[in-house]
Structure 1
Amino acid sequence: MHRVVRTVLLLLALAIPPASSLHAYRNVVYFLEWGIYRDFHIANLDWSRITHVNYAFAMPQVDGSITFLDEFAATQRVYGRDLGIGAVQGCFGQANKYKRAFRGTKFGLSFGGWSGSGPFPTIAASPSLRATFVANAVALLEDLGLDFIDLDWEYPTLAQLPHFATLLADMRAALHALPFRTELSIAAPGFPANWGKESMAAICSHVDFLNLMTYEYTGAWSRRAGYHSNLFPNPHAPDGLRSSVSSAVQYYLTRGCPSEKLVMGVPLYGKSFERTRGLFAPFAPPTSGSHAPDGLWDYKDIARHASPTFDAVAQATYAYNATTHTVLVYDDPKSVAAKVAYMQAHRLGGLMFWEASGDAAAGSSASLLTTYASLVGKEDMDFRPNNLWYPHSRYDNIRRPPLLGGFTP
């Protein structure tokens, strides 16, 4: 018996990457639950290049319970052969298979989002509701075979920040009590938010990393066409268009958040501005887009048709069609390379991409995920092994012991 235990411990030790990789860059990618109805599934993720897949979203309820917007997509849809009555299926069943094949990729669950954050103030302010929510979230982590939890509260007010910090502390304590390694992250504002230094320090101390939503600086609500995820401000931009990724990062750094915990967000979509004379000029409301007439375009759709212009000052990309009088603002390989250089210079924690279905084909020269992974190199990415040991899961396929040598879906 002791010989078996020693053998297992030796195999586990051999699976752990060298110490130099334990603080390497993260490649965090959000996967949208409703993306399957656009024919983008768990199998379409670029598992070999992603360190953290963030499933969006689980929905907190005001009583501390948790639901999915689409339970069928999450746990019931059958892919290929039926996994059996006692198995979880759907996206989480597929994720379990791919985790066994790609041991360096962690799979987590994001709670809330823009339309799902309403219950957070009530939950965070109540000790009993916090306890209920934390217990339910940790139970989901064990049941679904997850590696981390991400809280996407958009957005706590200054008065609510102490409650948010307490919620994170409670979640951190519950995760630490588990017999395997987990992580805790949050989605954080990509603009200088009204977060006091004390609250910022508390929040940063409780999480492993923060996904900065460094995009959406402009849109249909703006008065003029402008970049929505530029690295630096352009001095020629009018007032109201001076936001930038760098100013958001510096906001967190100057308030004491460790640089290695800051993960910069990169949009895998662009914005269009119609009937305009060009960048920084007035425009008309959008009438088109990849999925709706809202001016939002998947990056893959832009990359196939646009002729980019790179702004060396803002380190941002745009395209202007003089025939249709349309401006497109988006990230491309050149702007991502600039963000990678900034990330490395400031020793940040990595990049986060919203969201996976918008990227160009995995492995292609146009793919932004591929661009990032190629520039950094796999040896400097956070490919610490995921967890496959969930003895208390209620699902047979999650509870099943890991197979040595992996698994091919």
Structure 2
Amino acid sequence: MKQRRHDRRTVAGIAMMATAAIALSACSGSTTPPAESGGSGTELEGRGPIQYVSSPDASGAAQQSIDEWNEANPDEQVEWVELPLDADQQRQQMVQNAQVKGETYSVLNLDVVWTSEFAANRWITELPEDAFPLDEHIPATVEAASYRDVLYGAPYYTDGALLYSRSDLLTAAGVAEAPQTWDEMQAACDAVLALPEAEGMSCYAGQFDKNEGLTVNFSEAVGSAGGSLFDDEGKPTVDTPEALTALNFLVDGFESGMIPKNAITFQEEQGRQAFQDGNLVFLRNWPYVYASFSATDGTSGVEGKFGVSAIPGESGPGVSTIGGRNLAISAFAENKATALDFITFFTSEEQEEKRLELSSRAPVFSSFFTDEAATEKLPYLPTLLESLENAQPRPRVVAYGETTAAIQDEIYAALTGEKSPEDALADLQDALTEITSD
């Protein structure tokens, strides 16, 4: 990997997402004062032990990088503070620590949509751009790590939605191509579920538990039906025919059995396990699950039996949200100089290459997407690149916590039959209008 040429042209289309992301960043109606400049890293002082605050990593890849750092830096050890797997609980604990100006969190592993919120509230510190090879990153990852054109996070990994399918059963059922539309997916399921070997299986699942995954899946459904959650001026646009089409797709899926009833409790890991155990024909999930599905140690029931494609939409390929993570430095942490050095080490191209041996997390360096060794190990990379080129960001608003909570409340109410889709969207429009208004 050291000698490969960085060809940015293959990912030029992704730069278009930066424009969309900037437009959505205007969605905030918060009265929070703008973040102050940290001054090119001049505040990043202090050396000694630090804490890395993150969700669990079952692959062991992140721990391997931390162990390598700790071995080389005995006086600047990194302690992993492991947060719950649930994204909303992660954010809540980080916000609580910031609100009391806690010094025990140093390096924060942030969902890309939290970066604007944390920067605007001055909970994280500006990073010096010259500490990172930003020109070698996928442009959208740099945009997602910035707030008001200032870098507050270092891109760690990127994410786009992928559709995992039981290619062996599709072949057996005479289905030659992965579905590009929701109707094609339903037809493919009908054919597969008629097979004796598919007895007891369900058609499709995503992430529908009442957490961040539901916001993502609903956002993708709306985008895949030709709509959006906000317009270019930052005004909510969920009380629309496109959003109703999207929500009806999900509600009807649960009512018809296309989506299994227990999927209402699915986060990423529950969906991964269900597909891995052979219970689903199709699964919407992130790239990280590829490694588990491909495991050859007997833990995967689908090893060598699955394919990867773009998620389907109403009338053609669907629209993914932009996922991924950034590493940021808590504004209240001690030993910020050590934190910066650790982040530059942890997010380096060399460390990303090493972690590919254990994890299928998508790298942020554009060169990996055309590198022969990387694509041989992770064949989904070209498909993910296609997904990212067509992706839309989730609302990049300062009041993101309130925004995603409102989406989860109303969409979950529709999926569980507590409200009609029409009422849920009307109430969501009102809630988002209030949240984003001055």
TM superposition score normalised by structure 2: 0.28
Relative contact order higher in (CA < 8 Å, ≥ 6 apart): 2
TM-score w.r.t. the length of structure 1 is 0.29
Looking at secondary structure, tell me which structure has more helix per residue.
2
* Structure number having the greater strand percentage: 1
